[in-house]
Amino acid sequence: MSDPARPPDRAMGVSLVLVVFLLGMASGASLFYFGQRSAGRRPPTGPPPRDEGIERLDRELQLDPAQRERLLQIVDEHRVKLHEFMEATLSRMREVLRPEPRARPISSPLRPVPGRRRAMPPG
């Protein structure tokens, strides 16, 4: 049995500190992950899936299948128009550049900048 007057082992103390540190790190990462998820944020990995907004509308408004399909068609139509608009804009922007940078790709202004919050749309 252990002697109550004997100080704890140094290795036991280091192990305890290490375990507490790792548990704190894991719980912090979990809280950050679930906090971002519950806030509706996700890492900027490209455009959102085509039906992400429609799923939210479906949950909130209980859409019937015909409404859901029509809304997906509207999103697709506007996505094509937006893509065409961005291509035309980037093409015009390239015309302003000197020949050397003109050959390099221009990142889309629609791509979110990491760390910058998007402004809320009016309305």
CA-nearest of 43, 64, 62, 40 to 52 is: 40
- Evaluate the CA torsion angle 54, 56, 59, 61 in order and state its sign: negative
Q: What is the pLDDT of residue 19?
A: 94
Pairwise CA distance, residues 8 & 3, whole Å: 10
Amino acid at 2: S
Amino acid at 76: D
Q: For the full predicted model, state whether its pTM sits above 0.85.
A: no
Residues 6+ apart with CB under 8 A from 42: 36
Per-10-residue mean pLDDT of the chain, 123 residues long, equals 65 89 91 76 58 80 89 84 85 80 64 50 44
